[in-house]
Amino acid sequence: MIIRWGGALLAAVLGWIAIMAVVMRFSDAAPAAVVFFPPEGFVASLPEDTTILSYTRYTLTLQSEQTTGFGAILYRSGAWLVLPAGLIGCLPLSGPR
């Protein structure tokens, strides 16, 4: 019983992550984006109008004045997982720390 609930919970979380990643790739609705495990040299490949809102060892939260295709730009720059930030149901939008 516990394994079944654990599997269902894992499937729900992975499904949510997949949906949000696809939304970020094809939609311009989110005011910011969180890049997980950015590759080396990723920041140097970003457009000039991109602002780094926060960063940790594993994530980078970004915002851009260019809202059209921002998620696609991040994926083309080498990000392998980009999630929206700052909307209801998304990751929280945090400022610099």
Give the three-state DSSP class for 46.
Answer: coil
**pTM to 2 decimals?**
0.75
pLDDT tens for each residue of 72-84? 889 999 999 999 8
| Domains of the chain by residue range | 2-85
Mean of the pLDDT values across residues 40-65?
Answer: 89
Among 51, 44, 37, 41, which residue's Cα sits nearest to residue 83? Answer: 37
| 13 pLDDT above the threshold of 80 | yes
Phi and psi (nearest 5°) for 18? -60, -45
